[in-house]
């Protein structure tokens, strides 16, 4: 095929827009998982002597990908291609394209995508619903050269920023969260006490063999104590993501917990007691007027294989057009102690309904 002369328009531009969209759809690439780190295992991210950066987002799952060669052709084709794939992500019909190759062969770039060897990622894929998924790790310890520690995750990854031209067109998003014990325990109130020291006069020494003497002893005065309660780390992370996605109308938040952590962590009998304030309030501080639906779930799972899971809390928040409040429906349950059967467990029914202001 002869090369296209430089400066001439692409032959695709001579076709009708509807036909170009059909071509873009046939060129769609299968589902893919992008990671923010250069290593697939985030638990041992700091095992080497080199300190790798950590980000708010850990993994980004796309059910279908646009062809990169079309995106690099010209501005018009790039814009049309992004519009088409954004409509696929926002549609009610499944848009996932499954790769027919074995899982070990689907990683086109080991530095950018996992090789499906992680049990946690397989568990995440078992709960996918054909939406774009972003995985977050909140107050979760990772292994470093000096042992385990909880890293700071304040910035979004370069991978997220590179995908932003496509992500900012999303209207629905799924967030999968792996939270550490500190998050489930809840924020700890810190007490701060102000101390006032009264200045005192001194007798200055007049010879080298004398010491300074206080005219009166130092007096301490304790001021009123104040309490500081830190913001919920998950709300802060969701804020950082949603402020870059202005069109979001629907957010699904799945907070996953290993079955061993569910039974072994020193948590109250009501596992969500420490994060009750987060459940009763908005999912993040800057929800805006565009958010119409929020669905939160607490899921305990056994990665397997095969993956087994049970939802022990779910909460649906819906906002009608023109209303200044959310209708909240909540259902709670417990995780089963026996995980030997492979029966799919039903989600708990909604038992509580109330309204909360936006």
Question: In the predicted model, what is the mean pLDDT of residues 123-152?
Answer: 84
| Average pLDDT score over residue span 12-38 | 86
Q: Are residues 246 and 302 in the same domain?
A: yes
Same domain for 210 and 292, yes or no, is no
Q: CA 115, 120, 125 angle in degrees (round to 5)?
A: 75
Is 44's pLDDT higher than 60?
Answer: no
Q: How large a percentage of the chain has pLDDT more than 70? A: 72
Residue at 7 is within a domain: no
pLDDT at res. 86: 92
pLDDT band at 100 (very low <50, low <70, confident <90, very high): low
Q: CA 103, CA 116: separation in Å to the nearest integer?
A: 6
Give yes or no: residues 213 and 111 share one domain: no
Burial of 338 (0-12, 13-18, 19+ CB in 10 A): exposed
Q: Please check the confidence at residue 146 and state whether its pLDDT lies above 60.
A: yes
The closest of 341, 337, 342, 343 to 312, measured between CA atoms, is 337
In the structure encoding, which two tokens stand for residue 221, read together? 């005065």
> Does residue 352 carry a pLDDT above 90?
yes
Q: DSSP character for 29?
A: B
Residue 235 has pLDDT above 70, yes or no: yes
- Three-class SS state of 312: strand
Domain match, 41 and 168 both: yes
Residue 306: cis peptide before it, omega within 30 degrees of 0 = yes
Greater pLDDT, 119 or 6: 119
What pTM did the predictor assign? 0.81
Q: How many C-beta atoms surround the C-beta of residue 145 within 10 A?
A: 11
The residue assigned the tokens 């001439």 is 8
In a domain, 119, yes or no: yes
Whether 179 and 80 map to the same domain: the answer is yes
pLDDT tens for each residue of 301-311? 887 777 888 99
pLDDT number for residue 237: 95
Look at residue 56 in the predicted model and tell me its pLDDT: 93
Q: Which of 182, 207, 225 is the last residue of a domain?
A: 225
Q: Do 262 and 346 share a structural domain?
A: yes
Q: Quick one: DSSP state of residue 1?
A: -
Q: Is there a domain that residue 219 lies in? A: yes
| Spatial separation of the C-alpha atoms in residues 169 and 159, rounded to whole Å | 16
Please provide the distance, in angstroms rounded to a whole number, between the alpha carbons at the two ends of the chain. 59
- Give the mean pLDDT of the chain: 80
- pLDDT score of 271 more than 90: yes
Residue 218 has pLDDT above 90, yes or no: no
What pLDDT score was predicted for residue 115? 46
* Domain co-membership, 20 together with 165: yes
Greater confidence, 221 or 176? 176
3: in domain: no
Please indicate, yes or no, whether residues 57 and 128 belong to a single structural domain of this protein.
Answer: yes
111 and 133 co-located in one domain:
yes
Print the domain residue range for 203. 196-225
Residues 184 and 215 in one domain: no
Q: Is 217 within the bounds of a domain?
A: yes
By percentage, how much of the chain surpasses pLDDT 90? 39
Of 70-79, 122-131, 294-303, which gets the smallest average pLDDT?
122-131
The token pair that represents 53 in the structure block:
């950066």
Give yes or no: residues 303 and 212 share one domain. no
Say if 323 falls within a structural domain: yes
At 111 the pLDDT is 42
Given a contact cutoff of 8 angstroms between Cβ atoms, the answer to whether 307 and 345 are in contact is: no
Whether 263 is in a domain gets the answer yes
Averaged pLDDT for residues 343-355: 86
Of the listed ranges 24-33, 199-208, 221-230, the least confidently predicted one is: 221-230
Query: How many domains does one find in the chain?
Result: 2
Q: Are residues 208 and 60 in the same domain?
A: no
Q: Judge whether residue 286 has pLDDT over 60.
A: yes
Confidence of residue 346 (pLDDT cuts 50, 70, 90): confident
In a domain, 6, yes or no: no
Lowest-confidence segment of 27-36, 169-178, 272-281 by average pLDDT: 27-36
Confidence of residue 109 (pLDDT cuts 50, 70, 90): very low
Query: Model confidence over 327-338: pLDDT tens digits?
Result: 999 999 988 887
């Amino acid at each position: 095929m002869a090369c296209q002369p430089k400066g001439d328009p692409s032959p695709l531009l001579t076709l009708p827009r509807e036909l170009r969209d059909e071509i873009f759809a046939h060129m769609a690439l299968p589902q893919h998982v992008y990671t923010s780190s250069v290593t697939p295992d985030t638990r041992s991210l700091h095992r080497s002597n080199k300190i790798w950066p950590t980000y708010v987002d850990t993994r980004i799952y796309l059910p279908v990908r646009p062809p990169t060669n079309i995106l690099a052709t010209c501005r018009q084709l790039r814009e049309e291609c992004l519009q088409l794939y954004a409509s696929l992500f926002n549609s009610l019909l499944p848009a996932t394209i499954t790769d027919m190759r074995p899982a070990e062969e689907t990683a086109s770039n080991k530095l950018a995508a996992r090789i499906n060897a992680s049990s946690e990622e397989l568990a995440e894929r078992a709960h996918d619903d054909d939406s774009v998924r972003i995985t977050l790790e909140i107050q979760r310890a990772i292994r470093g050269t000096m042992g385990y520690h909880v890293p700071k995750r304040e910035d979004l990854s370069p991978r997220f920023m590179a995908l932003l031209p496509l992500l900012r067109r999303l209207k629905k998003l799924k967030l999968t969260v792996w939270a550490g014990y500190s998050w489930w325990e809840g924020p700890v109130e810190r007490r701060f006490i102000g101390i006032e020291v009264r200045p005192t006069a001194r007798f200055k020494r007049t010879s080298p063999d004398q010491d300074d003497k206080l005219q009166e002893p130092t007096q301490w005065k304790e001021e009123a104590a104040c309490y500081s309660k830190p913001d919920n780390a998950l709300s802060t992370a969701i804020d950082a993501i949603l402020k870059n996605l202005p069109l979001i109308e629907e957010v699904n938040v799945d907070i996953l917990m290993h079955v061993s952590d569910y039974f072994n962590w020193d948590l109250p009998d009501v596992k969500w007691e420490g994060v009750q304030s987060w459940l009763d309030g908005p999912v993040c501080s800057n929800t805006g007027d565009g958010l119409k639906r929020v669905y939160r779930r607490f899921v305990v799972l056994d990665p397997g294989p095969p993956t087994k899971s049970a939802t022990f809390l779910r909460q649906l928040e819906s906002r009608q057009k023109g209303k200044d409040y959310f209708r909240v429906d909540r259902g709670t349950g417990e995780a089963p102690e026996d995980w030997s059967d492979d029966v799919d467990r039903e989600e708990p029914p909604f038992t509580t309904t109330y309204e909360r202001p936006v």
